[in-house]
Every structure is written in structure tokens, then in C-alpha cells.
A and B are shown apart, each in its own frame.
Chain A
């Protein structure tokens, strides 16, 4: 066990996977460049050679197909894209082939590929460097979608993804890369499809993923001082979603606020509200609610992103409204951090 940040935990997982299994390869634009994808692919090429670790042509679609073809002959590829948005060029391969190959050929072969996609936010990432498209991927049968929050889970879920026999979309929030946490040594795997109770509580269930979990925990800690006990569920996996964990918690608390870092319409949060309303209607003490990003592209200027994101203050206000509490002090107690467009002082851009 040692303390390291999320990016180092990813790097640790990649080293582990490549060491224990020679069929694991790692490629993507920039994986061997001096910046090594925010440090996540550091020293891989030196250690495992340029046959297994390589930079690639700017061809997101074909290179996804290459991973599929290699998978048909037992190669486990980890393909990395520095922003989710570039991967939209690969929708044909991921949706029509990777997700369906096992199914449409009668279960005869497997596609053990992992697609690492990094979600940008703030510092002018703007409309095409900041999209949270987990709901898109979760919509497709055959894909698994993973969104870790902590460094420990980043490592454990990446290892589980690489050794899963299915295509896994592994979403890393850029604002988490520098967060610190204890990370176990060795080959430690976090099971895909299992949520984690990030905080126990009894009054309301907050369901969150990735960076939204951090905001949820800030809100929950504040609300504790206001006499409201929140249970925070860190989904960790978006598909297959851990419905048992969600339903169990809602049964206990009787209230739900689903959070989402993606756009509101068609969001994962919307799906959670729907399922809870359908299946746990009688357990609910108030209408289930969600908070997600507005159906608006993320603008670029820092002036335009002010008060744009869902922050702890927004979450706290929503919860207090649900609980019929006075919200007048929340903005003062939980203001949007300044500067609002970076995860912390460490982030100096450019992306």
C-alpha cells in the first residue's frame, strides 16, 4: 500500500497488467511521448518494448478495429485517447463491432479490449473537449462502462477492465488525475459492476459517479452539519449498473438524488430516477430527483462557465429542498470555489 495520485495509479495498473500478461499491449496517440498521457503511460515502452507499447496514427476508428482484430487472436489491447471527444470518430468500430462481435457470432469469441477515455473540464476545454458521454456508451448492449473516482479504484478497475473478456469503456475524469489516495500494491482488482458506499447515511441516497462523487461528498459533509445524513453511492461502474446497491440504499433512506456529470436528457441519472420510481415507488418519501449538466455544450470562456457546473452547493440546495429545509445559507457556506474552472492550484492548463 502506498499513497499515489489517480494518474500514477493508472500507470501502476498498466505496468501490472503488462507484466503479468504478455498478451496485453498499450497504444494510443501520445502514449510514448514525453508527457505520457498525463503521466499515465510513463515508462511502459522502456520496460515492455515498442512492439507492445506504441504511438499510433491519428486514426481513432481504424485503431479501434485493429484492437478488435487483435483481440480475435488473443491480444488484449488498452487503447488510450486523451479526450473522449476524439473517440467519437470510432463509433462504428466500438458500437457495430466491439460491442456485438461476441453476440452476433453466437458467443464464439471474445473482445477483451479496454478503451481509456479522458474527460476534460474547465480551463476552456469548451464544447469538444469536455463531453461526458457515459450514457451513450451505456446505451449499447455488449459494452461495459467504468468510471472510477478514487486512485485505488482507478487501479483496481483498470486491471479488472483489461482482464475482462468484453470491451470496456474506461472513463477517467481529468479533474481526478491529481487526487491522492492509498493504493494497494500488486495485482488488485476491483470488480466491475459493483458500486461502493462512499459515505453511509440514512436520510437520502445520493448516486454519483467519477468526479461528481467528490462534489457529492463535499455536499454530504456540509449537510451533516445541518442535520441531514446523506448516503453517497459511488457507482464506479455505469454498465452493468449495480442496481442492488441503489435499490437497497433507497429502501433505507426513502429519498433519491441522482447526480450526473453528463447532459440531462437521456442521462444515467435519468435512468436511475426512472428505475427507482418504477421499482421503489412505495419506499419513496419524496419525488426522486436528479441533477445533471444542462443540455448545453460546455462553453469555453471562464466567464461563461461560472456557476455552470453542478457543484456541492447546488447539490446541498437540492437536497435541502427535498427535505423542506431552509436553503438561504448554503451559497454562503458552500460557494463555488475560486478559480472555478480548475480542479485545484496544481492545474495550470493547457489540458
Chain B
């Protein structure tokens, strides 16, 4: 959680330098969910995500250096500079990709689950999505198919209340319980507080355990909040789409503080450990950014490569 936060903060800090020349969607404020997920998922399980995908990539074990290099548009990037922040992949840990077209990666995650079933493995597939994706038709199509085939899929919905700057109130009917709605489609569903990593961890672990036994897909919705602007490095409360009060309320629920407080309360020595971890993370991030900023760009010629895959 600290690592995700620190990476995102460093991206935000350096973004105005103009070297990261692609849109970035930061997960600051939403880290508890991916961090909990990281503790529960196996390396050979599949995961797929969307535009706000840095945290999921890192949580799945994606290579930090390759991600930062990708955002810098470098040849050493995880997509060799072809994808940028919105197209992250690390096949070594079965992080299978991200797509910024809302809802686009959902059926792809379901297809990965179908492949596990066909191949008879116990791999599950995790699909990260936001509240906006709930409004896409493909979400219903995908949940429906996963339910029909009882596929090993875990849908994790991070509900941060906004689709770009459009609040839930203009997008979904008042009082909708998303988990209840999904449950009515025939799959197990629950919702929880996304700032509470212990709760998130318990829910994700339980769901994964059950899915792995072949009991079919599940859906988890977590309430959460992105602190910074929808896309970019800055804060954007001043533009008027959300109130300072709302922001302050959510910021007071900082998932990092929540966990640190619980831990420090129980174990006095934890603070020291956390600080040691933080300084370790800082070093690691420094290296990643140094490497990325000094790495060579892909050759211009590479733009014309990989349109088609060659026959093996």
C-alpha cells in the first residue's frame, strides 16, 4: 500500500517535468483494495484492469521499472513504448493487460477464466473495474456469461463515485445497491469499505478461496475515492464537480493511516518497521525513475512493427 502510494506520488511530483508524455490516472486514495488483493492472489492467477491500473499492475507483482519506463515511453517499458500508462502488462506474473475503454477489459478477463476451465487449471481471473463500467452493456454480458458457465472470475469494482467528473447521481438511480443488483444476476456479490484494508483482505481472500473450489464467479464492490484529478497529476477540487467537504471526509479515511494506526496501536515497534519499509520503497522508486528517464527511446522504425503477429 505504501509502495503504490509512493509510486503514484512520485509520478505526480514529476509529471509537470513533461517527460511522461501520456495520460496518467493515479490511484492515490484507492490503494487498500489492490494491496489487499496482492496478499490473496497467486502469481499464476490472471488479472486484468482498466485506465486506472498502475496499482493493480503493481499489486499483481508487475515490474516497477518496466511500468515507469513505459510511462516515460521508453523501449524498456512493459509495452515497449507502444501502450503507455493505459496499457500495462507483465506476462511473467500473468498481469494480462489494461484497457482505458471503459468496460473493455471485463470480457477479456472472463475469457481468461474460460481458458483456465478449458485447460483444467485452478487459476482464477481477476477483473478490476470501476463504477462507470457498471453502466456499460458489456459488464452485464460478461457477468451473465461467467454465471452461465460458472467461470472462476472475481470481479472487483472500485466505486470511487465519479466517472471522470460525472457523479454517480447522474449515472445510476438513487439508492442502487450495486452488489445486490449483480447478485440478482446469479452470482455471489458483496460490498465493503475500500479504505479498510483488513476488511478488503478478508472479503477478497474468502471470495478467492471459494472461486478456486469451482463455485463460480463472484463480485465485490468497494467504496473508495480518488484524491487527485481524474487524469493527470494535480488536485482538482477547485473546478467545482465535487465539494471540499466530500474530499476532506474521504481524505480523513486515508487507507494508509487506517492501517498504520491499527498496527501501531497493537505493536509499538511497527512504526519503525513502516519507516524502514518506506525508505526502502523510496530507494526502489528512485532507481526506477532514474532508469526510466535515462533509458533509450524505441527507434522510430519500431512504430511500424508488430501490426500483425508472425506465424510461429
Contact = CB atoms under 8 A, between A and B. Distances in A.
B106 interface: yes
Contacts of A59: 138, 141-142, 144-145
B82 A105 contact: yes
Nearest to A66: B111
A72 B96 contact: yes
Given A75-B118, A96-B99, A108-B89, A66 B107 contact: yes
Contacts of B312: 165
Given A144-B308, A166-B308, A62 B106 contact: yes
Contact of A70 (B82, B91, B97, B115): B115
A273 interface: no
A72 B115 contact: yes
Contacts, number: 153
- Point out which of B48, B111, B119, B142 has the most chain A C-beta atoms below 10 A from its C-beta: B111
A5 interface: no
Contacts of A108: 79, 89, 91
B237 interface: no
Interface string A57-85: 10101111111111111110000000000
Interface in A197-245: 240
A142 interface: yes
B100 to A, nearest CB: 9
Given A105-B83, A106-B81, A107-B306, A69 B108 contact: yes
Interface residues of A, number: 44
A72 B112 contact: yes
B307 A69 contact: no
A16 B97 CA distance: 32
B148 to A, nearest CB: 6
A104 interface: yes
A68 to B, nearest CB: 5
Contacts of A18: none
A103 interface: yes
A150 interface: no
B145 A62 contact: yes
Contacts of B106: 62, 65
B104 A73 contact: no
B205 interface: no
Contacts of A25: 118
Contacts of A102: 306-309
A5 B187 CA distance: 45
Given A61-B138, A107-B309, A93 B107 contact: yes
A56 B145 contact: yes
A238 B33 CA distance: 46
A64 B311 contact: no
B80 interface: yes
A122 B29 CA distance: 58
B110 interface: yes
- Point out which of A59, A62, A70, A142 has the most chain B C-beta atoms below 10 A from its C-beta: A62
A104 B141 contact: no
Given A73-B115, A97-B99, A142-B307, A57 B144 contact: yes
B275 interface: no
A73 B311 CA distance: 17
Contacts of B305: 107
Contacts of B307: 102-103, 141-142
Given A66-B107, A73-B116, A165-B309, A57 B145 contact: yes
9 contacts: A61-B138, A65-B106, A66-B111, A70-B112, A72-B112, A102-B309, A106-B89, A107-B80, A163-B311
Given A57-B145, A69-B125, A73-B46, 7 more contacts: A65-B105, A69-B113, A75-B114, A97-B101, A97-B105, A102-B307, A164-B311
